[in-house]
Amino acid sequence: MKKRSTLILIALLVLVLAGAGFWLVRGKSPGGEHAKAAASAARPTLTVTVAKPETSELNVTLSANGNVAAWQEASIGSESTGLRLAEVRVNVGDAVKKGQVLAVFSGESVDADVAQAKASLAEARATAADAAGTAARARTLQATGAMSQQQINQYTTAEQTAKARVEAAEAVLAAQQVRGRNTKVMAPDDGVISSRTATVGSVVSAGTELFRLIRQGRLEWRAEITSSELGRIAVGTPAVVVSATGAMVNGKVRSVAPTVDPQTRAALIYVDIPDVQQNTGIKAGMFARGDFMLGRSSAVTVPLASVVPRDGFNHLLVMQPDSRVSMLRVETGRRVGDRVEITTPLPPDARVVVQGAGFLNDGDLVRVVDALPGNPTNGAAK
């Protein structure tokens, strides 16, 4: 009996060890690994938010680059020779009015010349009056024969010569008076002083430039566009010009160049930028970029965060009915704020992943939650 009990215990121990080995081998079998992988795959990869594409009206623009220059720049110089510059009344950046005095030359020598010309004119007039009286008396004696015809002709000639000398003296006086007026340098038009070379005490010759003036304070943006885009721009088209400093100003197309550069195949578009003093961020000589506003058109837009760039292309992660995502390659267009235009047709009632899109791959299982308040994707469908 004792030997039988021992055998039964040994048999039970063998059965237990065999069962344990069977379950151990079954847990390491391929079927067990597949079960574990299936259980892991059933868990979502990431929690995301989604949004529906929206249709809105966007501006149609044409971008260009170019230089900023003065609309017209006037050169203001001296018309007098050998005069000393006594006073300079304006500086660079000053706004001036037409006829405003910009500088004054010393006029002592001119005043003396004017006085001398007046004296010469008075002398010539006195001489002319005497010659006219003598000629009149001679003509009264012509009928009596008391004076020869030759003498009468001499007196008449002297009268005409005296009149000519009066006219010459008047011309000299007028010239000296012009010189007197030229001692004041005046602005030829309204505008802003852009350059000054006038220095008090200097003696300049006629024609020497003293100031440069931006006429009417107007600048212009000379934008360059390709010849293929030339037909899209017309006079009066609004434009937004952005300087290198980031300053933005609105302008309008004033004219379109009638020719195209044969080397670059680019055409110039002249955009008026009014009131140079208010547009302090844009100066003549700057390089600027800008956009021509050609109208508005309908566009399908999505949040910028939903566009995933990979392998040199843009993609959207589109939600599928089984809560998995499908990667769709798309073409993008205009950008306004935090939204971007999608030019590729999207499926009807499409929902695109926004938050977390950059961490997903094609076919990933995700869990969708509502967007947080204040998030750009707020209001997205779940």
pLDDT at site 23: 59
64 token code pair: 């260009």
Beta bridge partners of 85: 105
- Sign of the alpha-carbon torsion through 275, 278, 284, 287: negative
SS (H, E, C) 82-134: CEEEEEECCCCCCEECCCCEEEEECCHHHHHHHHHHHHHHHHHHHHHHHHHHH
pLDDT at site 334: 84
Q: Where are the domains of the chain?
A: 46-57+298-368, 62-71+216-296, 79-106+183-215, 107-181
- Sign of the alpha-carbon torsion through 151, 153, 157, 163: positive
Pairing relation of β-strands 366-368 and 46-48?
parallel
Quote the CA–CA distance of 198 and 187 in Å, as a whole number: 14
Beta bridge partners of 332: 342
pLDDT per residue, tens digit, the chain (382 aa), is 556 666 676 767 766 676 666 555 554 444 445 444 444 556 877 888 999 998 888 888 889 999 999 988 999 988 888 888 899 999 998 999 999 999 999 888 888 888 998 999 999 999 889 888 888 888 887 777 677 778 888 888 988 998 999 999 999 999 888 888 888 899 999 999 999 999 998 888 888 899 999 998 889 999 999 988 888 899 999 999 998 888 888 899 999 999 998 888 899 999 998 777 777 788 888 899 999 998 888 889 999 999 999 888 999 999 998 889 999 999 998 888 888 989 999 888 889 999 888 888 888 898 888 765 555 444 333 3
For domain 107-181, the CATH class is mainly alpha
Beta bridge partners of 63: 291
For domain 62-71+216-296, the CATH class is mainly beta
Which of 302, 301, 353 has the alpha carbon at shortest distance from 324? 353
Torsion of CA 110, 115, 120, 125, to 10 degrees: 130
pLDDT at site 114: 87
* CATH number among 2.40.50.100, 2.60.40.420, 2.40.320.10, 3.40.350.10, domain 79-106+183-215: 2.40.50.100
State phi, psi for 115 to the nearest 5 degrees. -60, -40
Q: Which CATH number is 46-57+298-368 given?
A: 2.40.420.20
Q: Do domains 79-106+183-215 and 107-181 have the same CATH topology?
A: no
